[in-house]
A and B are shown apart, each in its own frame.
Chain A
Amino acid sequence: MYRTVSRLLIFVVLPIAMQARALADQPVVEAVFSPQQLVEKLRQGGYTLYFRHAATDHMNDDHHPVDLEDCSTQRNLASEGRADARAIGESIARLGIRIGDVQTSPYCRCRDTAQLAFGRHQPNESLYYAVTAGPEERKKISDALRAMLATTPEAGMNNVIVSHTANLREASGIWPKPEGVAWVLQADGQGGFRALGKVEPDEWAELH
């Protein structure tokens, strides 16, 4: 009897439970559009662009704890990343996509990405890198991000968020990859949001 029950637990219930958990973090609706379709939508406005920061120099990692005022304690953009950020910004401008708020994580790499791309940015504490936070704080960050993503921008405008992998993963289950990728999200008007698709950094140049 005991052996049966335990085998049941281990081999049946546990995987389901794990899957359930995994499912719990997925967004409500996931539709995948192509980058070109996304651009046309963006041109009309009302979406949120979640950028992962551009390519960084992987040789150095952030110091833990990090000094947000001092970029030398962080993993910063590589020259490649900086070029990507500029290019993305140029492309977005060329494509006629109108940008409203630009909010970034306080990390230098995110700020630089935004500044290089859009020439302006607004650092936001709640976009702090989630991986370094403890469980309570992480929940707070995640909730904050969810709230931001559930906010509809100004008509015809798109809000931009430049932040990290962990944050989006926590808030939506999406793992933004690679560095510099932009996910397009839309608020569903009911306090939630849905992900519509992503544009990788080198795809912008070919879009029209």
Chain B
Amino acid sequence: MTLLRLSLRQRLLAGPLVGLVLVLVLTGTYLWHAESSNRLLVQLAEEDMGLLDRYTDLFAALSRQHMALYLLLYEAPSLEEGEIYDRGRETLDGIHSVIQDMRHLADNAAASSALNAFDEAQVAELTKALERYRASATSAVEMTSVQLNLAAGYLVEANKHFSRMHKNFAERLDGVRMQLRQQVSRHVIDNRNTLRGFALFGLLIAMVLLFFGYTSSARLSSRLQEQIRTLNTLSQSAASDEMVGDADELDRMSSAIEVFRGSLRRVGEQEQTLAAKNVELLKEIDVRIEAEQALLESKQSLEEKVSERTEDLTRSNRNLRVEIDQRKSAERRLFLYKQVIDNTDEAILITNGHGRIIDVNPAYERKLGFERDELIGQTAAKVNSGLHNKEFFARMWNSLTSGSFQWTGEIWNKTKSGQVLPFWMTINAVLDQQGRPAQYICLARDISELKQAEESLQQLAYFDPLTGLPNRAMFNDRLGQMIIAAQRHGRKLAVMFVDLDRFKDVNDTLGHSVGDALLVQVAGRLAKALRAEDTVARLGGDEFTVIVQDIRDNTNVVPIAEKIIRTLRQPFLIGEHRVQIGGSVGIALFPDHGVDAERLKKNADAAMYQAKEFGRNRFQLFDAKLLEASVQRRKLLESLRQALQQDGFTLHYQPIVELANRGVAEVESLIRWHREDGSWVSPADFIPIAEEHGMIAEIDNWVMRHACEFAARSEMPLRVHVNLSAILFQDPTTAPVVVEQLDLSGLEPERLCIEITETAVIGDPRTAREIVEQIHAHGVSFALDDFGTGYSSLTHLTRFPLQRLKIDRSFVAAMLQDEATEAVVRSMVQLAHNLGMKVVAEGVEEQSQHEHLLNMGCDYGQGWYYAKPLPEAELLVWLADRFEVARHRSSA
């Protein structure tokens, strides 16, 4: 606080000084304010009021002039015109000067005081009015000197202007006076307020100053008193003199100071004694310093030793830390391994070098059912299943105590509950420093599930999943074994191949689930029909095999074969279907028909095929000759398949001749198979085989396609006949396929005729009819082939849309020799015509036949008499020739 740095006097003076300054300031401000307000009032009085006075004076002057004007007019009659003019001129001059003064006043007023008597607009208006007045006054004067009697009018006008002006002016003046009065009063009030303000402010300052003065002096005096009091107390402690209580504070202060003086004297004496003592002390200090030196030296040596020790400690500390880290990481690893051992699924057993169990893991406990405590100290014998012999364990022990010190293998253990489980075990020996086993670590994996899987696999490998019968593999196995057994005991055995007849039909018509169920039932029946020591196996599809062992000769076999056939012939009930099949059985005997499994199987298979060929639903003993046939057949089948794939077929076309005019508009397509070795295979030979092996649809499609293409590209509008096998009319895709072939080839449907045999309708007449009708709806015509030879009923004729009837060749051949046949043929023709069909006679070979048929009314003929089936090129040549001949004949 800068304030404290000032001297006491200055501080005490500060207050009054400040007060004085403030008062002066206040007075000055007040005086100035009073002065300014005075000035204002003066201005008001002099300037503004003065201005008002001047305005009023001017107006008075104007009035005087106005009166002069009136006077002039009144006196004019008695005056000379010149005189009138002179006086009038004076008045006008007076008015002029008033106007000048007015203008002058207004200009000045605008420049000077704040209080304008008139504002600019008012002044301008007044001046204008004055001018108007002057104008009319001038006119009045003028007229007074020109034509007196007219002057009065102008004077009146002037008067009007004047009074208006006068009124205006008076009003204005009043207004201004009012304004001034207001201003003055306002000013007075302001003044009063300001004065009051000043007074208040002055009072405030005075109070502040008083307060300030009081506080500062109070503070000062209090401090002073304090000092005095302190001094007094000090002095009282220093001297025993009592103070006079009534004495003034300052007196007390001075007496206290006296006391202090005495004390000071005493202090001086004491100082002297102290000085002497000081010298003694100094001597002692020197002694002490020496001692200190010695101490310092010993301290230094100590410090050196300490730092050495510290270094050692730090080093060993570091080593310890490293060791700790290593221990820690080892611990962590151990912990990790423990986790692994505790959580693994493998059963782990640890024994000492003598085979005593020292630890097991939780998996072991779980698998074997024993608790850890129950096993520790025991040997592995605790879990011995008893299934392994001494040699097994001896081998194990050997393996563990020498060589690789390791054993791996399958071992069966018994759990606490008595259950015996297979384990895959790996035992490793942990060797000590001498190379002797100190511990054995045994890992065992429960492979019971694995074993079960193995078993099922075995099952799968050897048994047919659908029927449960042994499969081909097992069969082969067994056969091999049984052959050996039979050889050893000098007995015979029989191998039978059983093929289900018409199984394919069932599968196709009733579906695979029914087919499967049928197979299962067949398996059951076969098993029942045989002895326990015989084997029934399913080779696949609908092929079953039987091994009958311990037989002496053929005669034992036949009853069994017959039994099989009988049991298979019985109808099967599958769901709501009643299925009728049959079985074809082929038998081959050991050692008659072969001494090894392969031969026996092949011969039995061949025998089976023979059985099939001989009509099915029968058994057939192997015949060497038959083998040849079957081999042939198989070869044929193979080449048939090839031919189908490689387009080995061709179509020949046989003309169908219209008997009446020998015209040819239709040809029948016949498939021909020209084999690579040059031989021809007749359709009669390969078609049945194709039908048997499900290849007929493909062949028929092939025929259809090529026949349609041929007809489409032939220049003559031929209709082509195509033979379709009966099977196709059980297949709902037949109709779309036919239509597709027509579309692809572009052949008009009307130029296609499909030949079907009577057997086509035997299967399921309804389906067949639907298909025929579907195809017929597109415009394709149908012919009934080989009429008279099939198992047809005449109702079929009426139910199917047929356009042609083909009389079988057998009838045509016998026609001329046998009356009955001839009658039949005649009636066939009649029948066909009655039903709206045309008749074609097949197999016409002689002129006489041709003539006879013509007489009977038969429409068409087909046969060697007209032409044999020809390949396309030759057919076209043949047709051209005939055309030539015909033309020639007609022209001739």
A residues at B contact (CB < 8 Å): 56, 58-59, 61-65, 131-132, 134-135, 138, 165-166, 169, 173-175, 177
Contact = CB atoms under 8 A, between A and B. Distances in A.
Interface in B89-138: 89, 92-93, 96-97, 100, 134-136, 138
B135 A175 contact: no
Interface in B134-151: 134-136, 138-139, 141-143, 145-147, 150
B544 interface: no
Contacts, number: 52
In the complex, which of the residues A63, A166, A173 has the most CB atoms of chain B within 10 Å of its own CB atom?
A: A166
B505 interface: no
A58 B154 CA distance: 12
A58 B86 CA distance: 20
Contact of A175 (B82, B93, B150): B82
A166 to B, nearest CB: 6
20 contacts: A58-B146, A58-B150, A61-B143, A63-B135, A64-B134, A64-B138, A64-B139, A65-B135, A131-B141, A131-B142, A132-B138, A134-B93, A134-B96, A165-B81, A166-B89, A166-B145, A169-B82, A169-B85, A174-B82, A175-B81
B81 A59 contact: no
Interface of B: 80-82, 85-86, 88-89, 92-93, 96-97, 100, 134-136, 138-139, 141-143, 145-147, 150, 154
B800 to A, nearest CB: 138
Contacts of A173: 82
A132 to B, nearest CB: 6
A16 B93 CA distance: 23
Contacts of A166: 85, 89, 145
Given A58-B146, A61-B139, A131 B93 contact: no
Contact of B85 (A56, A65, A135, A175): A175
Contacts of B89: 131, 138, 166
A132 B142 CA distance: 9
Nearest to A130: B89
Contacts of B136: 64
B154 A61 contact: yes
Given A58-B146, A58-B150, A62-B139, 18 more contacts: A56-B146, A58-B143, A59-B150, A61-B139, A61-B142, A64-B136, A131-B138, A131-B141, A132-B138, A135-B93, A135-B96, A165-B85, A166-B85, A166-B89, A169-B82, A175-B80, A175-B82, A175-B85
A158 B490 CA distance: 203
- Chain A to chain B: the 7 pairs with minimum beta-carbon distance, closest first: A64-B135, A175-B82, A58-B147, A61-B139, A134-B96, A64-B138, A135-B93
Given A64-B134, A175-B80, A177-B81, A169 B139 contact: no
A135 B141 CA distance: 15
Contacts of A177: 81
Contacts of A63: 135
Nearest to B94: A135
Contacts of A131: 85, 88-89, 92, 138, 141-142
Contacts of B139: 61-62, 64
Nearest to B86: A169
Given A65-B135, A134-B96, A175-B82, A165 B150 contact: no
B142 to A, nearest CB: 6
Nearest to A164: B142
A201 to B, nearest CB: 16
Contacts of B146: 56, 58, 165
Nearest to A136: B96
A63 B138 CA distance: 10
Contacts of A65: 135
A82 B82 CA distance: 25
Contacts of B134: 64
A135 B81 CA distance: 20
Contacts of B86: 169
B805 to A, nearest CB: 144
Nearest to B143: A61
Contacts of B85: 131, 165-166, 169, 175
A25 to B, nearest CB: 8
In the complex, which of the residues B80, B81, B136 has the most CB atoms of chain A within 10 Å of its own CB atom?
A: B81
In the complex, which of the residues B92, B100, B138 has the most CB atoms of chain A within 10 Å of its own CB atom?
A: B138
A21 to B, nearest CB: 9
B420 to A, nearest CB: 154
Nearest to B93: A135
In the complex, which of the residues A59, A165, A174 has the most CB atoms of chain B within 10 Å of its own CB atom?
A: A165
A62 to B, nearest CB: 7
A165 B145 contact: yes
Contacts of B80: 175
B152 to A, nearest CB: 13
Nearest to A25: B86
A163 B81 CA distance: 17
A64 B147 CA distance: 17
B712 to A, nearest CB: 126
A59 B93 CA distance: 25
B135 to A, nearest CB: 3
In the complex, which of the residues A61, A62, A169 has the most CB atoms of chain B within 10 Å of its own CB atom?
A: A61
Nearest to A59: B150
In the complex, which of the residues B85, B93, B143, B147 has the most CB atoms of chain A within 10 Å of its own CB atom?
A: B85
A61 B143 CA distance: 7
Contacts of A56: 146
Nearest to A129: B142
Nearest to B148: A58
B162 to A, nearest CB: 15
Contacts of B96: 134-135
Contacts of A134: 93, 96, 100
B143 to A, nearest CB: 6
A65 B131 CA distance: 9
A101 to B, nearest CB: 27
Contacts of B138: 64, 131-132
A63 B440 CA distance: 155
Nearest to A174: B82
Contacts of A135: 93, 96-97
Nearest to B95: A134
A64 B128 CA distance: 12
A152 to B, nearest CB: 27
Given A169-B82, A169-B86, A175-B85, A62 B142 contact: yes
Contacts of A59: 150
A166 B154 CA distance: 19
Contacts of B154: 61
Nearest to B149: A58
Contacts of A169: 82, 85-86
A164 B172 CA distance: 41
